[in-house]
Structure 1
Amino acid sequence: MALLLAGFAWWARWALDPAFPQGFPYLTFFPAVILTAFLFGRGPGIFSAVLCGVLAWYSFVPPVHSFSVTRGTSITLAFYLGVVTVDILLIDWMQRGNEQLMRERERSEQLVAHSQLLFSELQHRVSNNLQMVGAVLSLQRRGVTDPTARQALSEAAAKLQTIGRIQRQLYDTSGAPLAPDRLLPDLTRDLIETAGRPGIDWEVDVPPGIELPTGSAIPLALVLAESVANAIEHGFAGREEGQILVAMAQQGSMLILSVSDDGAGPPEGFDATTSNSLGLRIARTLAEQLSGDFSLTAGPDGGAMATLRIPVQSATA
């Protein structure tokens, strides 16, 4: 290819010789040297520079058809040598820089893939460890005879296993919390499927654009898990079918998460703020950590409605 480009440059210089003023013997040879060095590297570029220089010297540098060395010839050759040397060096440095950039890019991609693998493995191990602790508490409950202690261990084991199931769903591979319109549907589906109640229908209504920071993703997920579990355990007790609606919206300075069902609803005189239920106490504590409040009331159309309200500045801090 270097020979072909040099030959083409020689032919083009010969064909255009009548149109060129005297004193431009290398005009068509410079592009040939540059193209050869750019396409094939430094070695072919040097070969092309030597070949083009010899052809131009013999054919177009007076006295033509000879390799006579005069003062003018020396200056012309020195000018040509300086130009092609700079061209080849610049192209070589550019290509070396591109190669180094490609290697760094490949290395960065490998590091990203490795980090994503480690993050996924970490999430998986944390989830498994939490569920294992819950299973150990369940085993410990078998050796306890006191009904209150058995109930406390049972609830604690269930909560830990729930946290273990939702842990791996809270973040993507970058470590950032998932958007609610992606997180809440997957989490609700997993909670209901884990409960083993195929007759329960569910729906999630979350507008896009709401973002959850790291500090509120876990509390929101836990409150959702408690609310769904409460609806299944109490609202649909003795029933095979039911409907659960999960909704999130921003109203002014408040971010509101609601979980409503068409079940039995809370009993007469029920007050979530004074209830001793472990799940409700956890929900109230999580709401307080987010500078918000949690309530469980009768729904407008029957059933129960659990509502978490937190300030927007708390969710975006």
Structure 2
Amino acid sequence: MAALVVFNLGLFAIGGEKWPAEMFSLRSSQEQHAVMSWATSLCFALAVLAIWLFHARPRRWVAVAAVSASIGLVMITVSLLGMLFDVGAIDSVPFFVGHALSSALAFLVCFIGLLMLRPARSWTSVLLGRGAGSVMARWQFPFTILIPVVLCSGGYQMMSDGALPAAVVVSIIAALSSLFLGASVLWSGHLVNEREARLADMMRKMELYAHDRDLLLREVNHRVKNNLAQVHAMLGLQARRVADPAARQGLIDMKGRIEALSTLHRILLANGNPSTLCASEYFTALCERIDEGLGAGQRGIRIAVDADRVPLQLDFAISVGMLLNELASDAIKHAFAESGGTVDVGFRLVGRDRCELSVADDGSGLERPAERGREDGVGMKIIQAIVAQLRGSIEVSHEQGRRYSIRMPVGR
């Protein structure tokens, strides 16, 4: 098609549009034409260019294809208006001459279809969008087409009947078209303003709701903080009054767990997004609080955190935080008999929907007989309960110190 279009345009350029008819016609004395008109050739050229560029890889060529299809659509529209109103000025322009009605309608459908191939890269995205401006454009578009056509048709009929002089018709049609189009634009603007007012009212209500929710949330957090502090203080008082060393140690351990809950609560309050937490920042902050609370740095014990930067859901983060607190606190308290060491905390994704939490120390606490009973204590039961709640599995190794590896579904 492109080659045929170039051939036809070349014949027009050199004035040889009659040569094919003279070469192939047996009756060369009769005037015949065997080439397309200027209008048909240009429309085919624009259609071929648009089809070719719409499938090009660089996105800028898609915009060129949309421009080509838009130019063809304008040419066909002007040609159809010339057929409808028999305007001599349009008929005198060669680019809009030579279209039959069927060809013009076919090209009209062709260019509209080409523009629909990639609507996001052309002006048709305005009509097909979901925003307020697109809704207004879709509402205006039929009127911007129908009103001028109707007015021009009426004016042409009145001019043909002699009711209006030819010099006055154009000004009346232009004035009425501007009036009705302006009225439609203003009415559309009024509708958009009403919608904006409703949206603004909804935004004010949402702001009030968010303000009330923040007040309620601050009050709840304040009460939780106070309750945890009261429980922590009561356990401390009770531990000082108990004479049995085992019972006193149990109360002290429970006091430490309440303090861990309070630490988790403070970390959650300091987070900007209350619905999710970054695993790396969350575990780092939690281990810093554990270090400060147990005095690990003073004993030469270092906590190293290596965690992936993945978002965690709030409920999952609280459970994993309690799990990490039990494991890291147990390592700091019992794994290092005399000298310092390192507690390695790791958190990484394993596949798409599973994660692994690991806590390892390089101490030798379990190698002593007095420490072997720790695996059946309250802390281990709490760890096993949390792992079961998270639907995970736990592995313990004692090759170099002690290492816990817990795999579970990740909550993100």
| Normalised-by-shorter TM-score class | 0.5 to 0.7
- Check conservation: 2:344, 2:359, Cα contact below 8 A: yes
Give the direction of change, closer, same or farther, for the CA distance of 1:103–1:275 in structure 2 (3 Å limit).
same
- Check conservation: 2:341, 2:363, Cα contact below 8 A: yes
- Check conservation: 1:205, 1:246, Cα contact below 8 A: yes
Whole-Å separation in 1 of the counterparts to 2:205 and 2:173? 48
List per-residue Cα deviations over 1:48-91 (Å, max 9, x = no partner).
Answer: xxxxxxxxxxxxxxxxxxxxxxxx9x999998776655443432
Alignment correspondent of 2:388: 288
Give the direction of change, closer, same or farther, for the CA distance of 1:120–1:206 in structure 2 (3 Å limit).
farther
SS in 1 for 2:282: helix
SS in 2 for 1:131: helix
List per-residue Cα deviations over 1:209-246 (Å, max 9, x = no partner).
Answer: 4x54444322211110011111221123544x432211
- Check conservation: 2:261, 2:322, Cα contact below 8 A: yes
Whole-Å separation in 1 of the counterparts to 2:362 and 2:234? 35
Q: Which of 236, 240, 243 is 1:138 aligned to? A: 236
Alignment correspondent of 2:111: none
After superposing the two structures, state which structure 1 stretch, 195-204 or 83-92, moved more: 83-92
Alignment correspondent of 1:249: 348
Give the direction of change, closer, same or farther, for the CA distance of 1:316–1:163 in structure 2 (3 Å limit).
closer
- Is 1:164 aligned to 2:290, yes or no? no
Q: Which amino acid aligns with 1:165?
A: T
- Check conservation: 1:248, 1:255, Cα contact below 8 A: yes
- Is 1:266 aligned to 2:388, yes or no? no
**Shift, 1:281, TM fit:** 1.6
SS in 2 for 1:286: helix
Q: Which of 86, 90, 95 is 2:188 aligned to? A: 90
SS in 2 for 1:145: coil
Whole-Å separation in 2 of the counterparts to 1:250 and 1:272? 31
Give the unaligned 5+ runs of structure 1.
Answer: 1-71
Q: Which of 220, 229, 247 is 2:320 aligned to? A: 220
Whole-Å separation in 2 of the counterparts to 1:76 and 1:248? 73
SS in 1 for 2:305: strand
Whole-Å separation in 2 of the counterparts to 1:200 and 1:275? 22
- Is 1:184 aligned to 2:277, yes or no? no
Q: Which amino acid aligns with 2:402?
A: A
Q: Which of 197, 218, 227 is 1:129 aligned to? A: 227
**Same amino acid, percent of matched pairs:** 26
Q: Which of 299, 302, 309 is 1:201 aligned to? A: 302
Q: Which amino acid aligns with 1:276?
A: D
Summarize the alignment of residues 2-41 of structure 1 with structure 2, pairs less than 5 Å apart: none
Q: Which amino acid aligns with 1:161?
A: E
Whole-Å separation in 2 of the counterparts to 1:254 and 1:90? 53
- Check conservation: 2:264, 2:286, Cα contact below 8 A: yes
SS in 2 for 1:203: strand
Q: Which of 151, 156, 167 is 2:249 aligned to? A: 151
**RCO greater where, 1 or 2, for CA within 8 Å and sep 6 or more?**
1
Structure number with greater Rg is 2
- Check conservation: 1:128, 1:164, Cα contact below 8 A: no
Instruction: Please provide the CA RMSD for this pair.
Output: 3.7
Tell me the number of residue pairs that the alignment of Structure 1 and Structure 2 aligns: 240
Summarize the alignment of residues 42-81 of structure 1 with structure 2, pairs less than 5 Å apart: none
SS in 1 for 2:367: coil
**Shift, 1:140, TM fit:** 2.0
Give the direction of change, closer, same or farther, for the CA distance of 1:76–1:180 in structure 2 (3 Å limit).
closer
Alignment correspondent of 1:49: none
Give the direction of change, closer, same or farther, for the CA distance of 1:81–1:295 in structure 2 (3 Å limit).
closer
Normalised by the length of structure 1, the TM-score is: 0.61
More helix by share: 2
SS in 2 for 1:284: helix
Whole-Å separation in 2 of the counterparts to 1:255 and 1:87? 58
Whole-Å separation in 2 of the counterparts to 1:309 and 1:273? 24
Whole-Å separation in 2 of the counterparts to 1:272 and 1:219? 26
Whole-Å separation in 2 of the counterparts to 1:80 and 1:295? 80
**Shift, 1:182, TM fit:** 2.8
Normalised by the length of structure 2, the TM-score is: 0.49
Give the direction of change, closer, same or farther, for the CA distance of 1:268–1:109 in structure 2 (3 Å limit).
same
